[in-house]
Amino acid sequence: MVDSYEVVDLADWTRGESEPGGDEAKRWFIAPESSRHAGHWLFKPRRIKTLKLSEERQRLGHEPDVLVRGEDWAEKISYEIAKLIALPAAETELATVVQLRTDERVYGSMSRDMRPRDWAWTPGAALLAESDDEFDSKSCRGHTITAIRQALEGLGGSVSTPYADWSAFDVFAGYLVLDAWIANTDRHAHNWGVLQDPRTGDVCLGPSFDHGSALASGDEDRIRAQRVEQKKVDHWCEHGRTKRFNGGEAISLIDVAGEALSVCGVAARQHWAAQIINVDLDICNDIVVATPNLSDPTRTFVRTALATNRKRISDALR
């Protein structure tokens, strides 16, 4: 029997500031000193959307359907999957809190602040803009594997990990392998970046983060159930595309990872290939089983997608 992951109640945590950019829902919290989660965490509630009714259903007086997106479970599963292949990722837990402005209990995920104390954070978009006057983060113009490799040239791998002595791009290639595995389509230029040590000035790649779009988390539960029932999960995996590179061109996630691996160091290429090929799918299944509040069809969908994409990546790397 696999124990379920804890859903951390933030009731007695200290509320910090909201995330810059106007999103009041995302807020920093500070754990009590006695908590095993001691530190600063960013809470992100899962999004809930009322779906538009057809004219026919409006005429019949139907109530609108409500889509509860699964960013919280996608974030947690993705983090545990990243750990499984020893890939640097922001520590993530499931969480819940009562919002003061609405007095409503909300559920979501929380990620530990990945910045060591006093270290500076620079997003990939800022790095790319330094060398390309026409770079545009919204259209993804200039967000290419070649440009990213050049922007990370001479920088180190993730601090306090086994990859600290690696080149930043060799580690980043692993992030794209993870994206292909979990079907994360949202690796835009603000969803990766670098950290700088204020004492030495050294700059290194930050950990992977923000995996909430993975594993079809934005679909309705019934859609995932249909794919399982109709045995079309493999078809869904084969059509995994991202528009976050090459000016918004729809590119296979497998191809993005393959391109990065083709230009990274030989040792890194062999390492990430081995991590995927040798992964224990029984442990992957345990991760899905341990994630609370998933429907049986969604559990089946996620397990099948992980197994399917793992095989697709392995086949592409052989």
In the prediction, which pLDDT does 34 show?
87
pLDDT at residue 46 greater than cutoff 80: yes
In the prediction, which pLDDT does 21 show?
53
Q: Compute the average pLDDT of residues 15-23.
A: 70
Chosen domain end from 45, 80, 112: 112
Of 132, 55, 47, 44, residue with least CA distance to 96: 44
Cα–Cα distances in Å, from 186 out to 9, 30, 73, 96, 248?
Answer: 28, 27, 16, 24, 11
Find out whether 13 and 34 touch, Cβ atoms under 8 Å: no
Residue 45 burial (CB count, 10 A): 22
Please state the domain count of the chain: 2
158 and 186 belong to one structural domain: yes
CATH number assigned to the domain comprising residue 229: 1.10.1070.20
In the prediction, which pLDDT does 56 show?
73
168 and 255 belong to one structural domain: yes
125 and 267 belong to one structural domain: yes
Residue 241 burial (CB count, 10 A): 16
- Do the domain assignments include residue 1? no
pLDDT at residue 37 greater than cutoff 80: yes
In the prediction, which pLDDT does 98 show?
93
Distance CA 96, CA 201 (A): 37
Show the domain range for 14: 7-112
Q: pTM higher than 0.85, yes or no?
A: yes
> How high does pLDDT run on average in the chain?
93
Distance CA 128, CA 151 (A): 6
pLDDT for 82-128, tens place per residue? 999 999 999 999 999 998 888 899 999 999 999 998 999 999 999 99
Q: H-helix or E-strand containing 249? A: none
In which band, very low, low, confident or very high, does the pLDDT at 246 lie, cut at 50, 70 and 90?
Answer: very high
pLDDT at residue 59 greater than cutoff 90: no
204 and 223 belong to one structural domain: yes
In the prediction, which pLDDT does 66 show?
74
211 and 282 belong to one structural domain: yes
- Do the domain assignments include residue 291? yes
In which band, very low, low, confident or very high, does the pLDDT at 57 lie, cut at 50, 70 and 90?
Answer: low
pLDDT at residue 249 greater than cutoff 80: yes
In the prediction, which pLDDT does 68 show?
82
The b/e string for 9-26 (b: 16+ C-beta within 10 A; e otherwise) is ebeebeeeeeeeeeeeee
- Do the domain assignments include residue 273? yes
- Do the domain assignments include residue 167? yes
Chosen domain end from 84, 112, 140: 112
Find out whether 119 and 183 touch, Cβ atoms under 8 Å: no
Q: Residue type for 18, please? A: S
Chosen domain end from 66, 88, 112: 112
In the prediction, which pLDDT does 22 show?
46
Of 241, 273, 259, 132, residue with least CA distance to 189: 132
In which band, very low, low, confident or very high, does the pLDDT at 20 lie, cut at 50, 70 and 90?
Answer: low
Out of 57-71, 119-133, 210-224, least confident range: 57-71
107 and 139 belong to one structural domain: no
44 and 186 belong to one structural domain: no
277 and 144 belong to one structural domain: yes
